[in-house]
Structure 1
Amino acid sequence: MASAAYSTAPAAAPAVAPVGAEAMTALEKQALVHVNALRTAHGCAALVIDRGLEKAAHGYAAEMVRTHNFSHTSASGKSPGDRARDAGYTRGGVGENIAMGFRGDPDGVVNDADYGWMSSSGHRENILDCDYTRTGMGYAAGNIDPHYADGSWVQVFG
């Protein structure tokens, strides 16, 4: 498993109704439940899904598999903030956690990703940053690097 974290300053939470998680896969929903359990256990509010952040996360998870580029900077030079804006997110700064190399049953995949992210200070800071109120989760099957198992995770925070 490999993972990386990125963050810019989040903006104040807007007075906008949260968007539902209709487009999320069962695996992504399960990951969000785990992340929200970690957040609430540490005194932060649960994250709600934002369609722009979700679109950015899905798109970048697939792009990392397609381009074999495991980085917060895309093969075309775009940052997490660039991708979030391109996907329609306009509320301010973003954080991004990425990971690759998970396989197996859904519980194992989600637990491994959560454990990896919480064991890394940058990822942990993104997950437990109470200023973030919105998120998008993306998972794509496929091999980014032959030294790791299949699977690409992206979580974008806003």
Structure 2
Amino acid sequence: MLALHVYSGMNDSLGQRTCYNNLSKIYRSQHNYSQAKWFILQSNTISRLKHDVPNIIASLIELSAIKSDIKDYTLAMGDLNEALKIAVKNKDPRNESAVQDMAKRNYFSHTSKDGRSMEDRIVSAGYKFKGFKSFAIGENIAQGQQSIAEVMDGWFKSEGHCKNLMNPDFKEIGVAEYKSYWVQDFGSRTSFSAEQQKLIKSG
């Protein structure tokens, strides 16, 4: 809490948001869901004021996960729907090529016709893992749905897709839609600590 007061006094919105995110995780791990929701909502508010789309989406996903913990699935789905709408409105070019490729070459798969895997596509589009301690990625695809509500309903009813949506480790998201093909990519990267970075540089 001390760090939060320091960042507030310095008017450091990034520091405040990081503190809010961390406090939300702590309270969620302690099953204090009301406090966890309060802190992640503060993070979401700061992100909206800063027009920080990736963090607006990330905080909505985290809020949805908290609501799922208390079995408030209807409201959880509402948060994910909002996250998806924002992501589609700010389409990620990393996914744009994937949906267009499926539509133009008439296939439906996580692996493209030229043999590239989901990871290959994400890396070639600029989502790098080098220099990070660890990373995780995931992908949902769908075909035929005509609306965000319809595609989200389908993903929620599918165990594997729902796991991606509810995975608290995923902090970044990219979404695109083209001619009723949908792609939703998830990612998370963990940086080395300052001490670990020093050790790496020193060899």
TM above 0.5, one fold? yes
Structure having the larger proportion of residues in helix: 2
Does 2:183 match 1:157? no
Closer, same or farther: CA 153–20 of 1 in aligned 2, 3 Å: farther
Aligned match of 2:173 in 125, 135, 141? Answer: 135
- Alpha-carbon displacement from aligned partner over 1:87-120 (angstroms, at most 9, x marks no partner): 00014331000000022xxxxx111101100100
* Distance (Å, rounded) in 1 between the aligned partners of 2:99 and 2:66: 26
Shift of 1:156: 0.2
Moved beyond 6 Å, runs of 4+: 44-49
Does structure 2 retain, via aligned residues, the 8 Å contact 1:102–1:113?
A: yes
* Distance (Å, rounded) in 1 between the aligned partners of 2:95 and 2:164: 15
Closer, same or farther: CA 88–71 of 1 in aligned 2, 3 Å: same
Does structure 2 retain, via aligned residues, the 8 Å contact 1:54–1:156?
A: no
**Gapped regions of structure 1 (runs ≥ 5):** 1-16, 23-31, 104-108, 142-150
* Distance (Å, rounded) in 1 between the aligned partners of 2:136 and 2:92: 15
Alignment correspondent of 1:97: 140
TM-score when normalising by structure 2: 0.49
- Alpha-carbon displacement from aligned partner over 1:36-93 (angstroms, at most 9, x marks no partner): 36445225998797xxx92221110111101111001101111111100000001433
Does 2:102 match 1:64? yes
* Distance (Å, rounded) in 2 between the aligned partners of 1:67 and 1:21: 31
Alignment correspondent of 1:79: 117
Does structure 2 retain, via aligned residues, the 8 Å contact 1:64–1:152?
A: yes
* Distance (Å, rounded) in 1 between the aligned partners of 2:68 and 2:94: 26
Aligned length: 115
Corresponding residue SS for 1:95: strand
What's the Cα RMSD here? 3.4
Tell me the amino acid that sits aligned with residue 98 of structure 1: I
* Distance (Å, rounded) in 1 between the aligned partners of 2:52 and 2:161: 24
Closer, same or farther: CA 121–131 of 1 in aligned 2, 3 Å: same
Does structure 2 retain, via aligned residues, the 8 Å contact 1:61–1:140?
A: yes
